[in-house]
Amino acid sequence: MGWFTRGKAPLERNEGKKVRVPEGLWTKCKSCNSAIYTKDIEKNLNVCPNCGFHFRLSAQARLDLLLDKGSFTEKDRDMESIDFLDFRDSKSYGDRIQAAMSKGNGKEAVICGEGMLDGIMVQIGVFDFTFMGGSMGSVVGEKITRLIERAVESRTPAIIVSASGGARMQESIISLMQMAKTSAALARLREARLPYISILTDPTTGGVTASFAMLGDIIMSEPKALIGFAGPRVIEQTIRQKLPEGFQRAEYLLEHGMLDLIVTRKDMRDKLSQIVRMLLNKGPAPEQKPVES
């Protein structure tokens, strides 16, 4: 008589077969290298719960975070870039535009419109880095200019959240002209004595930094955002010197007087509301539920 009897057939071995793990289940933090359950990051406003690293947000997610629920109305939605120079590198410019639009995050690198911030009407534009690196071409410059002009006409504050690689090379000198165009519009806003708040996120570089991004009455940034004109590697190769630790990060710019303050994502809405009310000589904001983190 045996010491035991086998009640079930043995499990078959999956030799040579890989177990499929669903994509996107885990996310590796670029700062602390931790593997984090993606849903935990999303619950924490796309901020690493271990080290506080701020992952990039889509333009729509940013609008949902900053504005009163359901208050946003998009403007100039149907404006699209065209390949007027018949530009081609490894792909045609037209194909790159279509590829960016196919991601479903809008028809351009910036979404502009108006909405309520704790009951105050504001004109707001938010960049989406997934659309051709948030680059500024003729349409982006026009949308930003119209945003500022609406702020002047409606006597409302202007807010721009930047995330950009700079001017769009596929539009050549036309893209560079947007730097002067947007800056001139901001001069008219200042003449009207209306506030402009610039929020810099990772990354804000090139022609966007060299124009409207650094012209705010108040310039805010998320922690550790890359902010500059040329990238650190380009600068090192040009001057043939090692750059200081943390060069072109938000904390370095704050220390050297280029920023007014650095604000974490969970505190951004409250701080923005406080600043807008202060600049408009408004009273304190109504009681709000704290942002979940």
Tell me: the pLDDT tens digits for 111-165?
999 999 999 999 999 999 999 999 999 999 999 999 999 999 999 999 999 999 9
pLDDT at 235 over 60: yes
Cross-strand partners of 162:
200
pLDDT band (50, 70, 90) for residue 105? confident
- For the residues of 209-265, what is the DSSP string, one character each? HTTGGG--SEEEE-TT-BB-SS-HHHHHHHHTSPPPTTTTBHHHHHHTTS-SEE--H
CA distance 103 to 221: 27
Give the rounded percent of residues in the chain with a pLDDT score beyond 70.
Answer: 89
Return the pLDDT at 276: 97
CA distance 160 to 163: 10
Q: Residue 41 corresponds to which tokens in the numbers above?
A: 């990051």
For the chain, which domains are there? 24-55 (no CATH), 57-279 (3.90.226.10)
> Count of H helices and E strands in the chain?
9, 9
Return the pLDDT at 78: 94
User: Are 185 and 149 within 8 A, CB to CB?
Assistant: yes
Coil, strand or helix at 185 = helix
Q: Counting Cβ atoms within 10 Å, is residue 16 exposed (0-12), middle (13-18) or buried (19+)?
A: exposed
Lowest mean per-residue pLDDT among 6-15, 124-133, 136-145, 210-219:
6-15
pLDDT at 18 over 70: no
Return the pLDDT at 290: 55
